[in-house]
Every structure is written in structure tokens, then in C-alpha cells.
Amino acid sequence: MKLNLFRFLALLTVALIFGSTAYSQAVNVRVKVPFDFVLDDRVFPAGEYVVQTIEDGSYALLIRNKDTKTSALTLSYPSRSSKTADQTMLVFQRVGKTCFLSQVWAAGVPVGRQFRLSHEEIRMALNGTKPDTTIVEASIVH
């Protein structure tokens, strides 16, 4: 019985890993963000950024500030839409005076990337602060 359960869980894990990467789209965008923002409890200054997958089929994204030459690696997960994105964009949630990077979308693709909520964003939401959505248009890097 334990062996059958182990085989089932192993097969399910493999199916989830390989099934989810089939929907993973490569991301390679350039964007000028006019304000400071937070991602993974880290503050990023305003500036020009490149957001890209570290390898095809991966949900790990590299966010690199072209001005300061600093970078960070973060995990994302798919965010599906019933229609393709009209434009390449970064979506931010502004809670109070703080902006949190929420999603990355590429024009013509129905699957974007979403980031987990930071601890600060969760705390502010629990205090009843309502978020506003801010969209910053980006361009695809070829």
C-alpha cells in the first residue's frame, strides 16, 4: 500500500513539473519604472530594468537594474487570462505609498507571470488598506 502511494505521488510530481513547464513562456522585457517598488520584501529604486527568465521553461526570473547594475533572482508562477495581453507590461499594486510588483505580461501571450505577496503587502492588506493597480508599459527585448 505504501509503495503504491509513493509511486502515485512520484508520478503526480513528475506530471506537475513537466506539465507546468509546457505552459511556461520565456520572458525578456525592458521597462523604465518611474517609482521605487518592492518585490520579495526588497526595495528596488526607480530606473530602467530588464526582466527575463534565467532559462527556457523556468519560472525563475532575473530582475536587473540597468542603471545601478544590481540584480535579483525571484520565483514567479503562471497567471492565465482568457485573452492574450494587448501590450507588454508590468503590473504594480500600490498600497498606501508603496508599490509592489505583482505581474509581468508579454503582448500576444495569454499566460503572464505573477509574484507572491511580500510580507509588507500582506500586513498592509490585513490592516484594511485597499490596493490600486498601476500599469507600466514595457517593451520586449529580442
Number of domains in the chain: 1
Using CA atoms, how far apart are residues 63 and 73, in angstroms rounded to an integer? Answer: 6
Assess if residue 83 is contained within a domain: yes
Can you give the pLDDT at residue 124? 83
Assess if residue 5 is contained within a domain: no
**128: Cβ–Cβ under 8 A, 6 or more apart, which residues?**
none
Q: What is the number of alpha carbons within 13 Å of residue 13 lying toward its C-beta? A: 6
pLDDT, tens digit only, all 142 positions of the chain: 544 445 544 544 444 444 444 445 678 889 999 999 999 989 999 999 999 988 877 889 999 999 888 899 999 999 888 788 888 999 999 988 899 999 998 888 888 999 998 888 888 888 887 888 888 887 776 5
Assess if residue 41 is contained within a domain: yes
Closest CA to 90 of 47, 40, 30: 30
Provide the residue range defining the domain that includes 50. Answer: 25-140
Can you give the pLDDT at residue 95? 87
Can you give the pLDDT at residue 41? 86
Assess if residue 2 is contained within a domain: no
Assess if residue 20 is contained within a domain: no
What pTM does this model have?
0.75
Assess if residue 12 is contained within a domain: no
